[in-house]
Amino acid sequence: MEGLAMMGAGIGAGIATLGAGLGIGKIASGAVESIARQPEAAGDIRGSMILTAALIEGVALFACAICFMIQSKFAG
């Protein structure tokens, strides 16, 4: 049972990282493309890039915090 819980925590952390990586990667690619197309708007684009990346990262960190709680509940 403990092994399963630990596995769940590890797999959960991995999936959260996968999702966050995909999401932030898409944001960065979009931002870089639009900065290349419109370099004069780089400041605004960077601002919204950081904002959305921070929002995604927040969700990923929730997932990691939950995984961590499972892990520390069963680590002995």
CB of 51 to another protein, least distance (A): 7
Q: Does 76 bind another protein (CB under 8 A)?
A: yes
Contact 60, 19 (CB under 8 A): yes
Q: Which residues contact 34 (CB under 8 A, 6 or more apart)?
A: 41, 45
**Residue 76 structure tokens:** 């002995």
Which residue type does 5 have?
A
Instruction: Give the nearer residue to another protein in terms of CB position, either 11 or 75.
Output: 75
Q: Does 61 bind another protein (CB under 8 A)?
A: yes
Contact residues for another protein, defined by CB under 8 A: 43, 47, 50-51, 54-55, 57-58, 61-62, 64-65, 68-69, 71-72, 75-76
